[in-house]
């Protein structure tokens, strides 16, 4: 019954390759379609039935419009501000809190841990949180997107687990030499946490990059909107586009010019998505590591 590369097996392997290629195409195709449609002649795109594989009569009018749209550059700038300050704040709170929870012989460690963990499983919900932010006067304040999200208990637990894996002899030796906890944290633990730090900082940065719900609730002034809020206005709330879809059925002339509006949306999608997609393959190993860290239990 010895089977070695039977025809069935060769067939199976071929099938696997084909299925994986189809999967890959499905993953890429939407964004590829957006890209192709964003640089092709709108009159061709609107007549297209099905997938447009290659661009037709390339032009960059839509991109010119995006680049001249001040909202997009303001959005990028604000997103970077929130990302840098939010991530830095969260990271600082994370290392400071993880230290005590990783330390041996701390009397109040258990109750403090419980105090942290309860918040992972139970919360006041959206409305009391909103009312609190409101009564603190943080509405339309950039800090509303940073301060309340400073404590990430999950990250603290991951960092704590990592600190506990650092050999005790290092901190004990420093302790005997008269070093305090701050010194041990910043001179021993932090330098030994490169990979975990990279993972946590990356996930936090991606969180800030994607954030739109909190800005929608808390920000009024459009000058403070992050990129995703600007995109939401363009891509989701475009009421003109909705009205246009109905009119388009009546007059082909209008629908043609209206597709240009869709094309501008597509250009927005490409401009806002490409930076992350270009960076991500280089950072992939950290993200994968992050998934594993998150699934590890002590």
Applying the rule CB under 8 A, the residues between 48 and 107 that interact with another protein are 48-52, 93, 96-97, 99-101, 103, 105-107
Nearer to another protein, 73 or 255 (CB): 255
Asked if 225 contacts 78 with a C-beta cutoff of 8 angstroms, the reply is: yes
Q: Which residue has the tokens 């041990």?
A: 184
Residues 230-249 that bind another protein (CB under 8 A): 231-232, 234-236, 241, 245-246, 248-249
Our measurement of the distance from residue 256's CA atom to the centroid of its chain's CA atoms, rounded to an integer in Å, reads 35
Single out the residue of 11, 60, 67, 115 in contact with another protein (rule: CB under 8 A): 115
Question: Which residue from 263, 242, 262, 245 is spatially nearest to 254, judged by alpha carbons?
Answer: 245
Asked if 116 contacts 153 with a C-beta cutoff of 8 angstroms, the reply is: yes
The answer to whether 17 contacts another protein (rule: CB under 8 A) is yes
The answer to whether 14 contacts another protein (rule: CB under 8 A) is no
> At its nearest, how many Å lie between another protein and the CB of residue 241?
8
Asked if 160 contacts 101 with a C-beta cutoff of 8 angstroms, the reply is: yes
Q: Six-digit token pair at 10?
A: 């060769």
The answer to whether 122 contacts another protein (rule: CB under 8 A) is yes
Single out the residue of 58, 84, 88, 117 in contact with another protein (rule: CB under 8 A): 117
- Name the segment binding another protein (CB under 8 A); options: 17-25, 54-62, 64-72, 157-165: 17-25
> At its nearest, how many Å lie between another protein and the CB of residue 14?
11
Q: Six-digit token pair at 137?
A: 């006067």
Q: Which residue has the tokens 């929130």?
A: 82
Residues 188-207 that bind another protein (CB under 8 A): 206
Residues 275-294 that bind another protein (CB under 8 A): 276-277, 280-281, 284, 287-288, 291-292
The answer to whether 170 contacts another protein (rule: CB under 8 A) is no
Neighbours of 174 (CB within 10 A): 16
Q: Quote the crossing angle between the two packed helices 70-102 and 194-210, to the nearest 10°.
A: 140
């Amino acid at each position: 019954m010895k089977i070695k590369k039977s025809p069935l097996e060769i067939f199976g392997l071929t099938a696997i390759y084909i299925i994986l290629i189809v999967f890959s195409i499905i993953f890429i195709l939407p964004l590829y379609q957006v890209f192709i449609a964003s640089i092709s002649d709108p009159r061709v795109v609107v007549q297209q039935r099905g997938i447009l594989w290659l661009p037709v009569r390339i032009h960059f009018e839509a991109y010119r419009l995006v680049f001249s749209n001040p909202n997009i550059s303001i959005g990028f700038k604000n997103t970077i501000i929130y990302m840098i300050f939010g991530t830095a704040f969260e990271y600082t709170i994370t290392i400071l809190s993880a230290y005590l929870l990783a330390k041996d012989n701390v009397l109040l460690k258990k109750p403090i841990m419980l105090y942290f963990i309860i918040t992972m499983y139970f919360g006041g919900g959206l409305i009391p949180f909103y009312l609190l932010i409101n009564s603190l006067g943080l509405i339309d304040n950039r800090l509303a997107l940073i301060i309340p999200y400073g404590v990430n208990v999950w990250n603290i637990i991951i960092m704590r687990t990592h600190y506990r894996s650092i050999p005790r002899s290092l901190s004990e030796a420093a302790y005997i030499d008269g070093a305090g906890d701050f010194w041990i944290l910043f001179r021993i633990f932090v330098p030994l946490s490169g990979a975990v730090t990279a993972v946590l900082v990356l996930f936090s940065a991606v969180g800030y990059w994607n954030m739109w719900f909190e800005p929608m609730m808390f920000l009024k002034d459009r000058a403070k909107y992050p990129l995703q809020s600007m995109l939401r206005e363009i891509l989701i709330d475009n009421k003109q586009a909705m009205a246009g879809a109905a009119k388009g059925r009546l007059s082909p002339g209008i629908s043609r010019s209206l597709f240009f509006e869709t094309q501008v949306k597509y250009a927005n999608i490409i401009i806002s998505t490409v930076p992350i997609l270009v960076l991500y393959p280089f950072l992939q190993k950290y993200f994968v590591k992050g998934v594993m860290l998150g699934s590890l239990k002590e």
